[in-house]
Amino acid sequence: MAAALFSFGVSSASAEPTEIVVRVLSKDAKFIGTSMGGMRITLRDAETGEMLATGLTEGTTGDTSLLMHTRGGRRAQLSDATAAKYQATLDLDVPRLIEVEAFGPLAQRQAAQRIVSSQWVIPGRHINKGDGWVLELPGFAVDVLAPPAHVRVGDVTSVDVRANVVTMCGCPVEPKGIWDADTYEVEAIVSLDGKTVARVPLAFAGETSQFAGSVPVAAPGFYDVLVYAYDPATGNTGVDRTTFIAARK
């Protein structure tokens, strides 16, 4: 379903409606839509900065069989009728260099990123066929589930860390799956009072998209735990972090 239409451009008698469809594709995965809160799309005049339209991508992640295959050529279409998109109709009277900005995914703010692209748009010459204007968003959405931020721990020698890792479109990660957990590097980098004291690999935890491990607690102080996921095949990388406080023993 198309998003609500917005048009901020100044129209004139000679202005022509020009439709633009924008989709955001998670790198090595599917489209980012309603299930991840959508992407905030903003269209601007790249030369003047004038805002022309804004809204969210809405719809599904798309058809897996269209997206996750090795065949297909230059004109291969990736989207189906349900694939998430943002659609706007601009009233243009002259050719404009249009900049599109995408920010999100909005349901995972700790993972949200901003990407920008630009191209010339001619009045009445729509950008709505095939997949439309496609932007690719790299990364993983990493969400540290434990320990909760700023928790105090007692007389312990280790603290359990658990994180959820999905693609930016929300697609699941698991061993031997389309997004193969066995090929990803997931690690916790532990700092104590600002100094790195340990790096701990996190292993698949038996539940879809979840990884776990235990980080050492060798001394009292303020611990920062940065968890990253990295795919060496694509360069996709995502990060989240948490903190805990170890009391004196």
* Beta-strand relationship, 96-104 and 40-45: antiparallel
Cis peptide before 105 (omega within 30 of 0): yes
Q: CA 92, CA 15: separation in Å to the nearest integer?
A: 5
Domains and CATH numbers, the chain: 16-137 (2.60.40), 140-246 (2.60.40.2550)
pTM for the full model? 0.91
pLDDT tens by residue, 90-148:
999 999 999 999 999 999 999 999 999 999 999 999 999 999 999 999 999 999 999 99
pLDDT tens by residue, 178-215:
999 999 999 999 999 899 999 999 999 999 999 999 99
State the pLDDT confidence band at 76, using cuts at 50, 70 and 90: confident
Q: Which residue has the tokens 């903003």?
A: 42
What is the rounded average pLDDT of the residues 3-17? 57
Q: CA 19, CA 7: separation in Å to the nearest integer?
A: 11
